[in-house]
């Protein structure tokens, strides 16, 4: 890539990725009971606490991405959270039929999100 795009496009991508995590945090916070019940159904230990930790990490991590602060730490923490989310929410290997298809798409979406995080470094 050359020209002005080589400077601005990665920054725009990073801002969009950060905004995604902030939006995700707000969305999860607004629907925390439903999300917590979903985690409980998946046998997650202390689902409400786990959910609020994820919400806080998504929100702070998103803001840090937007403002390009502590990038290595933010990418590491968010990558770990996204990997855990991929395994818990996208466990397609334990499902059948349409449910398996939906879970596999959710899993691959989280893996793509992980890739986007790694590109910000």
CA dihedral angle for residue 15, residue 19, residue 21, residue 25, rounded to 10 degrees: 150
Q: Which pLDDT belongs to residue 119?
A: 94
The whole-number pLDDT of residue 91 equals 81
Q: Is the pLDDT of residue 1 over 60?
A: no
Task: Give residue 57's pLDDT.
Answer: 98
Section 90-117 average pLDDT: 90
pLDDT value at residue 7: 84
SS3 96: coil
Mean pLDDT of the chain: 92
Measured CA to CA, the distance from residue 21 to residue 55 in angstroms comes to 9
What pLDDT is recorded for position 2? 63
**Residue pair 25/81 in contact by the 8 Å Cβ criterion:** no
Task: Return phi, psi of residue 84, to 5°.
Answer: -60, -45
Query: Mean pLDDT, to the nearest integer, of 100-109?
Result: 90
What pLDDT, in 10s, does the model give residues 61-98? 999 999 999 999 999 999 999 999 998 887 888 888 99
Checking if the pLDDT of 52 tops 70, the result is yes
Residues 2-25 pLDDT 10s: 666 688 899 999 999 999 999 999
């Amino acid at each position: 890539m050359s020209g002005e795009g080589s400077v601005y496009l990665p920054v725009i991508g990073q801002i969009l990725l950060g905004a995604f995590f902030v939006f995700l945090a707000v969305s999860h916070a607004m629907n925390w009971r439903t999300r917590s019940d979903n985690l409980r159904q998946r046998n997650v230990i202390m689902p409400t606490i786990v959910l609020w930790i994820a919400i806080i990490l998504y929100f702070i991590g998103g803001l840090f991405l937007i403002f390009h602060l502590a990038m290595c730490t933010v990418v590491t923490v968010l990558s770990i959270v996204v990997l855990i989310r991929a395994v818990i929410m996208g466990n397609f290997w334990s499902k059948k039929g349409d449910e398996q298809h939906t879970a596999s798409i959710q899993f691959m979406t989280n893996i793509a999100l992980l890739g986007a995080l790694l590109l910000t470094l």
